[in-house]
Amino acid sequence: MPVVRNLGRAASQLLQSSACGCGVSLVPVRAIGVSPRQVASDASFHSLTFSESDHPRVLITGGLGQLGVGLAKLLRKRFGKNNVILSDIRKPADNVFYSGPFIFADILDYKNLREIVVNNRITWLFHYSALLSAVGEANVPLARAVNITGLHNILDIAAEHNLRLFVPSTIGAFGPTSPRDPTPDLCIQRPRTIYGVSKVHAELMGEYYHCRYGLDFRCLRYPGIISADSQPGGGTTDYAVQIFHDAMKTGKFKCYLRPDTRLPMMYIDDCLKATLEVMEAPAEALTMRTYNISAMSFTPEELAQEVQKYVPELQVTYNVDQVRQAIADSWPMNFDDSNARRDWNWKHDYDLPELVTTMFSYLGSDSRIAQAN
């Protein structure tokens, strides 16, 4: 057995006992000389689980992406401003910085992450740091580091400190051999992008850590997410955000997918609501650790027709990007989210007409916009 440094005699004895098959519950921990290392789950340096009457202490990684800021706003309203810490490696805008606690956190820096969790007594962690589909294909080594190595850091820290961990997954976790219409929670998953591969890896590792170490891992497979307060971030479904900005600014939109490419979509408010609901759901209600969620499914042509009710002169052209089209063609056309609706009463609020109305209401009045019929 290798020498374990910086452990007290009691912990060393527990390690030896577990190696002899004594049934001690273990969690992964990184330390000098052993990485990852296993110690008993009742080791003295474990943070205490918050009581049911207390609010969770929340950390959001990758918080300056499409979803993090909105999630922080929702969670701060529910749990209190100072109980939710937003983090990223980029400098936030003033309105984000002054809206609540913000810190620098690099998910590839294990020591820094661990210090953040310990010093701030974190109990819930939302892990949003990731490179999306198209961006990931342009830089596979970076996507592998961020999406996989970063995830391993998060899993080890979450298990060590008994956190409730949320990691989002995606329609990109499926591939061309998956059933596409509809796609169930459990089926063949053979994605063809590093983003999709990393998300399948996250789903399986999270489930493994739940079974092996008791980690309270929760995961939702998001469809394409549409929001008005963020710019497209390189995802294959981001055309459904870009069309609104282009309609407002120029009245011309060039789509990189075929007009008949059907994909599941969701308005951001539904996405954030589902995320909070699954995190608050009683553990005994969950029959699985990764769920599909869905709200609507449409094609670029159907979306354009709905947008043209507000901007009749909108000119739409199609210049297909073969890389992104191939990605979209391997993804689900519709999600079967019946398990989420049964287990924790998931219900969406926004269909396509409500989505378009809300987007234009948020973006504000413009001379191009006509009243909908």
Q: Are 224 and 303 in contact (CB under 8 A)?
A: no
- Strands 26-31 and 34-40 turn out to be antiparallel
Show the CA angle centred on residue 299, arms to residues 295 and 300, nearest 5°: 120
| d(C-alpha 211, C-alpha 192), whole Å | 27
Q: What is the pTM of this model?
A: 0.83
Q: How far apart are CA 2 and CA 13, in angstroms?
A: 13
Percent of the chain with pLDDT over 70: 83
Task: Kindly report, residue by residue over 69-105, the tens digit of the pLDDT.
Answer: 999 999 999 999 999 999 999 999 999 999 999 999 9
What domains appear along the chain, each with residue ranges and CATH number?
A: 130-372 (3.40.50.720)
Residues involved in catalysis: 195
Q: What is the average pLDDT across 347-367?
A: 87
Mean pLDDT score, 284-312: 97
pLDDT score for 35: 43
pLDDT over 90 percentage in the chain: 75
Mean pLDDT score of the chain, rounded to an integer?
A: 86
| For range 132-156, the mean pLDDT | 93
Q: Given pLDDT bands bounded at 50, 70 and 90, which one contains residue 276?
A: very high
With beta carbons less than 8 A apart as the criterion, state whether 341 and 347 touch: yes
**Which whole number is the average pLDDT over 117-132?**
96
Mind listing the pLDDT tens digit for each residue in 7-61?
A: 333 333 333 333 333 333 455 545 433 444 343 333 333 333 444 448 999 999 9
- CB-count exposure of residue 20 (10 Å: 0-12, 13-18, 19+): exposed
Q: Give which of 135, 122, 130, 109 is closest to 164, Cα–Cα.
A: 122
